[in-house]
Amino acid sequence: MSDRQTLSFLSRTLQRAGLQPKTKYGQNFLIDLNLLNLLVDGAELSTSDVVLEIGTGMGSLTKALATRAGAVLTVEVDRDLQAIAARELASHPNVRLLCCDALRNKNHLRAELLDNIREAMSRIPGSKFKLVANLPYNVATPIISNLLNETPLVERMVVTIQKELGERIIAPPSCKDYSALSIWMQSQCDCEILRILPPSVFWPRPNVDSAIIRIIPNAVKRARIVDLEFFHTRLRAMFLHRRKFLRSQVISAMQELLTKEQVDAVLAQENLEPNLRAEQLTVERMIALLEACRTSIPPSAPS
């Protein structure tokens, strides 16, 4: 990797191709080789791993992943960069490069990605699925959150993201960063920021700090959630109006499923004061509240 992903290599390669970084795709290349290695090391890769990378760029991180993993599926939305990366990766037979948007919509990954992951895993006995990537800022949140609702379940994620997003993921209750995303991630995963990154380690330099975060789904935590789809949908609805009191938040989130009287009964059952706010509830209390709501829905309620 000594001649890859440095500022001089990147700028020279793009200049020869008559290209420049495209802000609409969130192209900020990581130019510190030690940090690229930190991403790879944090994933603890082996030849039984199938790795998804989103944002191939020129293939520098992809090459490092390919030397350790059994298979790498890398995705690049920019056709110009995809052409450069294809040449760089031609000598790595365990890499498959797709040129497409990784997301089908804001709530789902593109089916082609997951089909390719499943196919690669079928060829490697005992394989594990991991995400390792320098994620474009504009897709980081839906990529990370939606992977927890897909099959196969990702075994771990080690990614660079905006520092602000990393702080939201690990935020405790009753602070400005605590949100539906905080609860969704912490309810299922062990989350840890490995390193804060200044703008100077990227080219072009972003206007904000970044972070390398490691996210590992925890089977014991996930088992507490009976219905993931219900929990995800209603959890997001709980935070649509942060300044409302808890009673109003639950009524809004459970619209057409529970009456106001039924909501009052659930809050009483869970010993929750109606003038609390959702952001004051711990992860455990939110799981218990939404499960109590789910089990209180009458059979006649609309699905």
pLDDT digit string, tens, across residues 77-126: 999 999 999 999 999 999 999 999 999 998 899 999 999 999 999 999 99
Model pLDDT, residue 130: 98
Q: Is residue 174 part of a domain?
A: yes
> Do 185 and 233 fall within a single domain?
no
Q: What is the CATH number of the domain that holds 142?
A: 3.40.50.150
Gap between the Cα atoms of 274 and 188, Å rounded: 26
> Do 128 and 276 fall within a single domain?
no
Q: Look up the domain containing 290 and give its range.
A: 228-296
Confidence of residue 2 (pLDDT cuts 50, 70, 90): very low
Classify each residue of 216-231 as buried b or exposed e, where b means 16 or more C-beta atoms within 10 Å of its C-beta: ebeeebeeebeeeebb
pLDDT digit string, tens, across residues 214-264: 999 999 999 999 999 999 999 999 999 988 999 999 999 999 999 999 999
Nearest by Cα to 135 from 204, 188, 79, 210? 210
Nearest by Cα to 143 from 93, 213, 86? 213
> Do 253 and 206 fall within a single domain?
no
The per-residue pLDDT of the chain, averaged, comes to 95
Confidence of residue 3 (pLDDT cuts 50, 70, 90): very low
> Do 240 and 137 fall within a single domain?
no
pLDDT digit string, tens, across residues 163-186: 999 999 999 999 999 999 999 999
> Do 112 and 127 fall within a single domain?
yes
Cα angle for residues 246, 250, 251 (degrees, 5° grid): 115
Give the number of domains in the chain.
2
> Do 233 and 195 fall within a single domain?
no
Q: Is residue 1 part of a domain?
A: no
Confidence of residue 1 (pLDDT cuts 50, 70, 90): very low
Which of 202, 222, 242 marks a domain boundary?
A: 222
Residue 180 CB-density burial (10 A; 0-12 exposed, 13-18 middle, 19+ buried): buried
> Do 216 and 253 fall within a single domain?
no
Which of 189, 222, 255 marks a domain boundary?
A: 222
Model pLDDT, residue 303: 64
